[in-house]
Structure 1
Amino acid sequence: MRLLTVSPSTPDPALVAEAAHVLRAGGLVAFPTETVYGLGAHALDAAAVQRIFAAKGRPSFNPLIAHVPDAAGARALTTAWPDAAARLARAFWPGPLTLVLPKRAHVPDVLTAGLPAVAVRVPAHPVALALLRAAALPVAAPSANRFTELSPTTAQHVQKALGDRVDLILDGGAASVGIESTVVDLTGARPTLLRPGTLSVAALAEVLGDVPLPAPSPGREDAPRPAPGMVERHYAPRATVWLFDASARDAMAARLAREAVDARAGALLLSPWDARPAPALPLPMPDDPAAYAQRLYAALHQLDDAGCAVVLVERPPDTPAWQGVRDRIERASR
């Protein structure tokens, strides 16, 4: 595994070209996007895409997102481009939005978990866009971590999680958004929200003129998912996560005393902890949903690295703006 450090705003073309060469040769390249670091492979090379599944330990029923440099790149992978796709792309690309659309025949089934639709996104990070343009091919890129574990927001997180399973890492600094993209399915009669993110339902509705439907249950645990991030337990640290409401702080302190006597406990808190006992490593979190999302995975990595066996997480408000964050911490606690 090699690591190349690049400017997050003006990446060196020679270094980007080196990473692009690895992708064209069927290798794996981890690179920064504005959401999290992705583990990239040539999206139209089935063998290269299969290397992603092997490196992550990811089950074949979980599809991947194809990253492209612009809307034209997305249309080249899809058989339909409805008006809703055009409006969403104009409003939010480049950015943390993934669209699911009917796929063309040349898109390999391994990329889409055998489903007839492909997930596509135009990332907003200058390094990601430079890499996509230099490689001149769509890049499959789930989060660069082991399956169900914490997503990486820095190159160091990638190194810790994957090590020599990746051929090259482009270190472009910390991700600015911090959680994975919002995913909207446009294959049905009405748009469907498959995965919430920092792009809110309200923002989508302003463009669509309609509120996206919630995703239906995928059924069996091994049933193909229409989008990434839809398994029950996901985005999880090594530590056990306990969620609590601010009003239940005393009850959580009692549980901490009762069940975690010998465990090192951390906490992600929106308000000061005033109960006893207290977690050993309390981390204050921002009360703004975008700032919280940017900090979330880094904070959980920090507590994992400190050896915490338990992490207490105070639930943020149950409002649309917090939907993406609440989804991640709920799945981490299962």
Structure 2
Amino acid sequence: MTVSGGSHSRVCNTGGTSGAEPFLGVDVFRGIMPEMTISPHDLRKASAVIAKGGVIAFPTETFYGLGVNPFDRQALARVFALKGRSTVDPLLVLIEARSDVRRLASEVTSTAERLMEAYWPGPLTLIFRALPSLPPELTAGTGTIGVRLSSHPDLPRLLEAAGGALTGTSANRTGEAPASTADEVRRIFGSEVELVLDGGRTAGAPPSTVLDTTTTPPRLVREGRVSKASLLAIIGSLAA
């Protein structure tokens, strides 16, 4: 993985398919992902940027994401400003391990546990009831939090270096197409993003599927790479 820094050199130097298809399982999905390419040097740089409240861009199994410490309110404000995103829209969090859900969610239902077992790591974002201690910028006052365990092979070590969690909102201005290459990230944000981790072209559309597990049965918010039919095969029913 190659690295590009923005104009904040002081910070950096210190540190496709066209439609939703049934999900075929983690091993099959990983088969279309690039091999791990992130270097220890890249990890050190990313860790330093994040620790100082900076923003990094990195590849996921769908698009490139913008990552900051999800518990740093000033860093979260930077993400909203970069994207031109409304503060009424919550931010997704990527986690290193399934157990990290407990750092974010106040309740994990048995249905959510089944979904995590079936699809994580993978392109399924689950919405949970949020811990009241989470920054309000993260939940946007909804009382809920979206979480994903990514299947991209570079993410576990990056997330470990970042302390176990990063925001995972797509790298784009609000209303525009998400970036699927590092060059697209640079073209969109220029020096506004301190560090771009170049993992080549990502799979792109469709995006992750988003499922709200705070309702019974769960509510499909967005059908993406994991299909509705696949979800129904696991949990039996979805909210109308």
Normalised by the length of structure 1, the TM-score is 0.61
- What secondary structure, in the 3-state scheme, does the structure 1 residue paired with 2:68 have? strand
Map Cα deviations across residues 73-129 of structure 1 (whole Å, 9 max, x no partner).
112211111111111111111110000011112211101111101100011112222
Is the CA contact (8 Å cut-off) linking 1:66 and 1:138 kept in structure 2? yes
State yes or no: 1:170 paired with 2:197. yes
**Match 1:84 to one of 90, 111, 116:** 111
Cα deviation for residue 8 of structure 1 reads 4.7
Map Cα deviations across residues 285-310 of structure 1 (whole Å, 9 max, x no partner).
xxxxxxxxxxxxxxxxxxxxxxxxxx
- What secondary structure, in the 3-state scheme, does the structure 1 residue paired with 2:169 have? coil
Aligned to 2:20: none
Higher relative contact order (CA 8 A, sep 6+): 2
Give the 5 Å matches for 1:181-260: 181-210=208-237, 212-214=238-240
Cα deviation for residue 14 of structure 1 reads 2.1
CA distance in 2, matches of 1:84, 1:174: 34
**Match 1:24 to one of 37, 46, 51:** 51
Is the CA contact (8 Å cut-off) linking 2:90 and 2:139 kept in structure 1? yes
State yes or no: 1:33 paired with 2:60. yes
State yes or no: 1:179 paired with 2:206. yes
State yes or no: 1:155 paired with 2:158. no
Greater Cα offset, 174-183 or 148-157: 174-183
Q: Which has the larger radius of gyration?
A: 1
Aligned to 1:250: none
Aligned residue type for 1:92? Y
Aligned to 1:137: 164
Gaps of 5+ in 1: 215-334
Cα deviation for residue 136 of structure 1 reads 1.4
State yes or no: 1:45 paired with 2:52. no
Gaps of 5+ in 2: 7-11, 13-33
Is the CA contact (8 Å cut-off) linking 1:44 and 1:138 kept in structure 2? no
Is the CA contact (8 Å cut-off) linking 2:93 and 2:148 kept in structure 1? yes
Aligned residue type for 1:105? P
Aligned residue type for 1:2? G
Taking a change above 3 Å as real, the CA distance of residues 141 and 73 of structure 1, as seen in their structure-2 partners, is same
State yes or no: 1:102 paired with 2:129. yes
CA distance in 1, matches of 2:171, 2:65: 5
Aligned to 2:88: 61
State yes or no: 1:71 paired with 2:65. no
Fraction of identical pairs, as percent: 38
CA distance in 2, matches of 1:178, 1:12: 27
Greater Cα offset, 169-178 or 59-68: 169-178
Cα deviation for residue 149 of structure 1 reads 0.4
Cα deviation for residue 177 of structure 1 reads 4.8
Cα deviation for residue 55 of structure 1 reads 0.7
- What secondary structure, in the 3-state scheme, does the structure 2 residue paired with 1:11 have? coil
State yes or no: 1:11 paired with 2:41. no
State yes or no: 1:2 paired with 2:2. no
Taking a change above 3 Å as real, the CA distance of residues 8 and 25 of structure 1, as seen in their structure-2 partners, is farther
Cα deviation for residue 70 of structure 1 reads 1.5
Aligned to 2:27: none
Aligned residue type for 1:19? A
Number of equivalent positions: 211
Aligned to 1:122: 149
Map Cα deviations across residues 209-255 of structure 1 (whole Å, 9 max, x no partner).
22x235xxxxxxxxxxxxxxxxxxxxxxxxxxxxxxxxxxxxxxxxx
Aligned residue type for 2:131? R
CA distance in 1, matches of 2:181, 2:206: 12
